[in-house]
Amino acid sequence: MSEYTLTSKNFYKALKQKQLIGSKCQVCGSYAIPQRQICPKCHSDQNEITTYVGSGTLKAFTVIFVPPVKMAEAGYNAKNPYCVGIVELDEGPRISAQILDVDILQPENIKIGTKMEMTTITRGEEADQTTFLAFRPA
Ligand SMILES: [Zn+2]
């Protein structure tokens, strides 16, 4: 039994504990991430929290040179770009997240199909800290 419920706040609460949670439909077996109360595939409301192993495969990526405000505030810009990718978790669902420890300035060296493992990034000052999901090559 997980300590988390299907409400969306729990996704970030779990990330702080370095846990990647989602939901698994008890009717059709589909996974969702973040967790959902209604199964995206069969629309059943029989969903339970599941904790992902946190490993997957890089399916797509892009390097961002012109960041949105929040990322600019975090120090990213044209001279300090960052990579965002879509990772397919071993359990099946896909999620986008920042990709760390890859050759951002030579993106031709970043390979689709690379095995990834989850990590987290914490940004902000103490009272205002948020933990974000990220991946890096396993
Ligand atoms: Zn379902």
pLDDT of residue 125: 80
Centroid of ligand 1 to alpha carbon of 116 (angstroms): 27
pLDDT in tens, 87-120: 999 999 999 999 999 999 999 999 999 999 999 9
Which tokens belong to 111? 């390979």
Which tokens belong to 117? 């493992």
Among 3-7, 17-21, 78-82, whose mean pLDDT is lowest?
3-7
Q: Which CATH class is domain 55-137?
A: mainly beta
Centroid of ligand 1 to alpha carbon of 45 (angstroms): 8
What are the boundaries of each domain within the chain?
9-52, 55-137
pLDDT of residue 25: 96
Centroid of ligand 1 to alpha carbon of 88 (angstroms): 19
Among 101-105, 129-133, 134-138, whose mean pLDDT is lowest?
129-133
Centroid of ligand 1 to alpha carbon of 134 (angstroms): 27
pLDDT in tens, 7-41: 778 998 999 999 999 999 999 999 999 899 999 99
Q: What is the 3-state secondary structure (H, E, C) of the chain?
A: CCCCCCCCHHHHHHHHCCCEEEEEECCCCCEECCCCCCCCCCCCCCEEEEEECCEEEEEEEEEECCCCHHHHHCCCECCECEEEEEEEECCCCEEEEEECCCCCCCHHHCCCCCEEEEEEEEECCHHHCEEEEEEEEC
Q: Using alpha carbons, select from 137, 120, 114, 8 the residue that is nearest to residue 58.
A: 114
Centroid of ligand 1 to alpha carbon of 46 (angstroms): 8
Centroid of ligand 1 to alpha carbon of 79 (angstroms): 44
Centroid of ligand 1 to alpha carbon of 87 (angstroms): 21
Centroid of ligand 1 to alpha carbon of 111 (angstroms): 32
pLDDT tier at 1 (50, 70, 90 boundaries)? low
Among 34-38, 68-72, 122-126, 134-138, whose mean pLDDT is lowest?
122-126
| Rounded distance between C-alpha atoms, residue 113 and residue 78, angstroms | 27
